[in-house]
Every structure is written in C-alpha cells, then in structure tokens.
Structure 1
C-alpha cells in the first residue's frame, strides 16, 4: 500500500525517508534550475530536507494544499535565506548533527549530465514529434544529416529544416520563459 505524502510526514523519521526518496529529484531540479551548479543544488537540497524533517511534526495539511507544496515552500525559503547570506544555509543540518555534504567530482559531473538530459527532454516536449526527433538525432546524438534522413526516410533538406525549426522554437520558448 502506498502512503500519501501527508501520512509519510506524520510517520516519523523512517517514513520521512520515503518522503525524501519520493521528492528528492524534484527538489534538486528546482534548485539546479535556479543556481546552475550541481554542488550548490545538492547542498540546498540537503538543507531543505533537513529543515523539512525538523518541521514535519508541525505539518498540518490543509485542503487544497498538499505536502509537496509545503516542501517547496521550505525550498523557496532555503533558497531566499541562502541568497541573502550569499552562502548555502546549513542551520537545519547543524541542528540534526549532519556532517557537511561532500560530493566527488564524478558525482557532480553525473548530476550535471542527468539534469542536462532532463532539461533537454523537457524542452523537446514543446516541439512537434518530427522536429523533436530530428533535433535529438542531430544535436544530442550528433549524427550526420545524411544518416538521419535515411532513417526518417526524408531528404536531407527536410531534416535540416526540421532541426532549424525545432531549434528556433526552443530558442523562443527559452526566451519567453526568461
């Protein structure tokens, strides 16, 4: 039986581990999108969940306000306080006696690659399927136009146009969000 987020928050530290596992990636992505640094995002994520663990006993779910909204409220506060201090806040982790987070270079590189891949996947969902397929093949997989055209049973000119239109649409989408 799957427990709700609200039940996990009320279930003590062991259940909180399940809550953490359920939302850690989303919280990391939230921070990474804002700071563009895997190590800082990991520190912010650790601080956010430490603060959530400390406050879990005070969580009172309200109708229409799920636990994940409460968690992202904590994330916003951690980010704001860290920006004000110009360093990653560590108050909650210190209260819990957590040691500083140390990530190896390989781990940081992997986090950057994973996040970059997810960002691209998210971005490609805004494109028509034919453009997304052409952009992925050319830009991500770094395949030659001739090879892509053969696979898609289209001319190279058509593939070039799909890639061009797809990249233009992605550029507009990013500019609109900025």
Structure 2
C-alpha cells in the first residue's frame, strides 16, 4: 500500500500527498512547536515542510524508508534555515534606532497556565544546547523516532545519534531548572494537550493546496 501511495505522489497526485499530510501533519507540528515554543512559527514550519516534501517527492522512489523520519528531517532543515533568517533579522533590527515606548500589557497574561511557562523554559533550554544535540534530542525523545530513523533523517551514523542524545539529556536536566528558576517569559501559549489545533491543520492544508497548484 505504501509503495502504491508513494508512486502516486511521485506522479504528482495531490490527493495521495494529502493522505501523507493527514497522517503526519500533527507529528511535524508537534516536533516544531516543542523545538521552537512558538505556535505561529510551528505552523509556518509545518507548511514549509510539506511544501518542500512536495518539491522533493521524487525521493520517495526508494531513497526514503520511513516517511515520518523523512518529513522530520525536512522540518529540521526548515528550522535551521528559519533560525538563520531570524538571526539576520535581529542583527538588522539591532542597528535601528530604539522604538518609542509601548503600553505594558503584562496584566493580560497573568492567567497563563504553568505548563506554558514550562514549555517556554524547555524551549529556551534547548536553544542553549548545540544545534546538533538539540536536533537529535527532539527527534528521539519528542518525535519518538528510533536511532536508525534519526540517523537516516539527519544523515549521520547511529553511534553519533547515541552520543549526542546522551550529552543532550545530561545538559538539559540542569538547563531546564535554571530557566524555570529565572522565571523569564516569552513563549507563545500552546493547546492544553500540546498538539496542533484544528485551525493549524486547516491553515497548513490550505497553504499546501495553494502551493501545489
């Protein structure tokens, strides 16, 4: 069945690709939001991931053993590029004159749940890891890929996956507690169950349909 579905996708069958989207969109979104801690950015990452997957659909000929690992590898690359673009934007903005003062809306977010704060703390802690360690941790621990699948997604040996994961876990224990103790804020709220909202699926699907016409 997978072989026939992949063959249809390679031939440009958008209905077949929509089946892949429906099966894997939540996994890609969950990976993105846990890595970035940002709802809007995670939806962008998901949309760009499937747009890129459509562009690279010919790889389904036999180079891809696990579609989920393939898509999460693409999502990881999308987030790398997004981080570079954000860094360049921050550098450009830092050269501009400071803006005028804005009203303080802090009272509006007093009711945020503790899990939102923890998600933000984890996201900040993750970004204190080396990029290579962060990518392995999110794919193995949060996206539940096996070592071999992560090795395939990132193009690295299985032994490297194991060593990077071990280092990441050891560092994160302390980093998350440091971030929670600091009590800083800055992450977008997430849904209570930590997964993609239906509006996110709808928006991403619409983006994909427009982009593949």
With a CA cutoff of 8 Å and minimum separation of 6, indicate the structure with the bigger relative contact order: 2
**TM-score w.r.t. length of structure 1:** 0.45
Q: TM-score, normalised by structure 2?
A: 0.38
- The structure with the larger Rg is 1
